Amino acid sequence: MEGGCFCGAIRYRVTAPFLGTAACHCRKCQYGAGGGANYSALARRDAFELLRGEPTIHESTADSGAAVKCAFCGNCGSPLWSDTPNLPGRAIRIGGLDDRSDLGPRLHIWMEEAPAWHIIGEGEKTLPRGPAG
């Protein structure tokens, strides 16, 4: 599976099946997504290959105290992925993948920070905070 940013300056490849998908509704992810949830597919770090370009990295602190490194394109601003030691892989933003057809979220996290207009499908699994929170 390949993906990249809107302007094409950054391209990457994921060479193994994703470990899972989720939508994060925390306030920080709302900023990064421009208002909605942050939809991500979790990829093993050893299955991620940067093909072209060099992303800009913004570092912040998660609620757990862990460092979160969010990668985005410095040209067009597209969010690309995030890394935190609390996850078993790299959280790839689903919107940047070339084929997103079967990657809907299997879990919605940080629902306690989601606005009422964040729509969750009937029967979808939700957590009030993150998996460890």
Structure tokens belonging to residue 99: 């084929």
CATH number for region 2-126: 2.170.150.70
- Residues in the chain, total: 133
Q: Strand 107-109's sheet: what is its strand order? A: 56-61, 67-72, 79-83, 90-93, 38-43, 20-24, 107-109, 125-126
- Look at residues 100, 105, 133 and name the one whose alpha carbon lies nearest to residue 120: 105
At 66, is the pLDDT very low, low, confident or very high (cuts 50, 70, 90)? Answer: confident
Q: Which residues contact 30 (CB under 8 A, 6 or more apart)?
A: 36, 37, 38, 113, 115
80-132 pLDDT tens trace:
999 988 888 999 999 999 998 888 888 999 999 999 998 898 889 999 998 76
22-44 pLDDT tens trace:
999 989 889 888 888 999 999 99
42-65 pLDDT tens trace:
999 999 999 999 999 999 888 778
What is the model's pTM?
0.88
The answer to whether 10 touches 52, Cβ cutoff 8 Å, is yes
pLDDT attached to residue 39: 94
